[in-house]
Amino acid sequence: MTARTPARRCIEEIRSLAEKIPSPPLRLMEVCGTHTVSIARNGIRDILPENISLLSGPGCPVCVTPDGVIDAAISLAEDPRVIIATFGDMMKVPGTEKSLERARAEGADVRMVYSPTDALRFAREYPDRKVVFIAVGFETTQPGNALTIERARADGLKNFFVIPAGKLIPPAMAALLEDSDSRIGGFICPGHVSVIIGADAYAPIVEKYGKPCVVAGFEPEEILEGIAMFLGMAVEERPEVVIQYRQCVDRAGNLRAREILNRVYHPADSEWRGLGVIPESGFELNDEYADYDAFRHFGIEPRPSRERKGCRCGEVLQGKVEPFECALFSRACTPEHAVGPCMVSSEGTCGAYYRYNRKKM
């Protein structure tokens, strides 16, 4: 591991570079839930100069999953033949009528897992049941899901299915910049996703939109150093993709993981909560694995997303409003009685603001 630049030095550098930034203020967007949480937890917004602000983008896999998919998962959970296996964050996301957590309290068999292999284990242990794993996640977690699907096929398991809800980050970044109302000055690119896809994956975005990108780690010092590197590019007006998170990320990414992804999935148009359908932004199963698609097996077509009244999660995910600007935030919408997904997930923007920054100090 490379030694990190001490926080104090990064802060000094950020302050001196920020003085050279012409108005209007510069807004950097992070598109990774782990960054969102680290920024909030470490109070990074507090220590940035006034003309530099951080926006949180669609970096939480749970938050960008359309509520139609959540409702479909709940309807599957209510089928007594089905065991739903899911990461914990998904449990509390409100669907139209209820969450998976509530469905469980009513008798549905919903189990929290830490890995898709746990779901595979259930499929072996309960050959008479149908095990459905909700495969949300970005490029980081999808190779693991893909391997699990390959393993299910190799083992001849006929009672294991996935809800293919995985998404690709770069198409969403491009879609955000296409929006004429966009306030985004550039990106802090996700660290984990970049381990898999490599920093070069962002080059087309820099080329087309002229916005700098920096791939940063997750420790507060790493994020600060990443912001300093970003400001360096902004001041010199030479947008590029630079890597702060050098100990884990290179230009090309993890070729083996990408190969696994390609064996099992292909990119397809996909709906993002709040952002609508984005071309080539979802992981769809290749034909030879299509039997593992839970929606196809059970003949379910998730309905399009429908935001709840007053909920501004969609705009939050696009960096158009801050959670504080939503009338529901911390009133009708709290982590325990969440209206929108950004409040529920541990990586959601509203949840992070609520937990760490809700009372102005």
Partner 1 sequence: MKEERVLLAHGGGGTMMHNLVGETILGKLGNPILNALGDSAVLEFGDRRIAFTTDSFVVQPLFFKGGDIGKLSVCGTVNDLAMAGARPLFLSLGFIVEEGLEGEILERILESIRAAAEEAEVRVVTGDTKVVEKGKADGIYINTSGVGEIRPGVSIAAENAKPGDAVLINGNMGDHGIAVISEREGLSFETEICSDCAPLNHLASRILDVCDEVHCFRDPTRGGVAATLNAIAGQAKVRIELFEKDLPVSPGARGACDLLGFDPLYVPNEGKMLVICPEERAETVLNEMRSDGYGRDSAIIGRVTEEGEGVVLLHTRIGGMRIVDMPYGEQLPRIC
Contact in structure between 270 and 281 (CB atoms under 8 Å): yes
Choose which of 73, 197, 224, 313 interacts with partner 1 (CB under 8 A). 224
Separation CA 332–CA 311 (nearest Å): 10
15 binds partner 1 (CB under 8 A): no
Strands of 75-156, DSSP E: 82-86, 110-112, 130-137
Separation CA 73–CA 131 (nearest Å): 12
Binding mask 204-223 for partner 1 (x = CB under 8 A): ----------------xx--
358 binds partner 1 (CB under 8 A): yes
7 binds partner 1 (CB under 8 A): yes
Choose which of 19, 22, 23, 114 interacts with partner 1 (CB under 8 A). 114
Choose which of 44, 63, 85, 249 interacts with partner 1 (CB under 8 A). 44
Choose which of 40, 63, 195, 206 interacts with partner 1 (CB under 8 A). 40
41 binds partner 1 (CB under 8 A): yes
Choose which of 19, 50, 128, 336 interacts with partner 1 (CB under 8 A). 336
For 298, other C-beta atoms within 10 Å of its C-beta total 17
- Length of the chain counted residue by residue: 361
Q: Which stretch binds partner 1 (CB under 8 A): 135-143, 261-269, 311-319, 348-356?
A: 348-356
- Residue 110's SS3 state is strand
For 183, other C-beta atoms within 10 Å of its C-beta total 16
From 198, 291, 313, 301, select the one nearest 250 (Cα to Cα).
198
Applying CB under 8 A, the site for partner 1 has a residue count of 31
Choose which of 36, 42, 56, 159 interacts with partner 1 (CB under 8 A). 42
From 28, 58, 34, select the one nearest 282 (Cα to Cα).
58
Separation CA 324–CA 310 (nearest Å): 13
357 binds partner 1 (CB under 8 A): yes
Based on CB atoms, which residue is closest to partner 1, 106 or 207? 106
Separation CA 25–CA 48 (nearest Å): 12
Positions that interact with partner 1 (CB under 8 A): 7-8, 11, 40-47, 92, 101-102, 105-106, 114, 220-221, 224, 334-336, 346, 354-359, 361
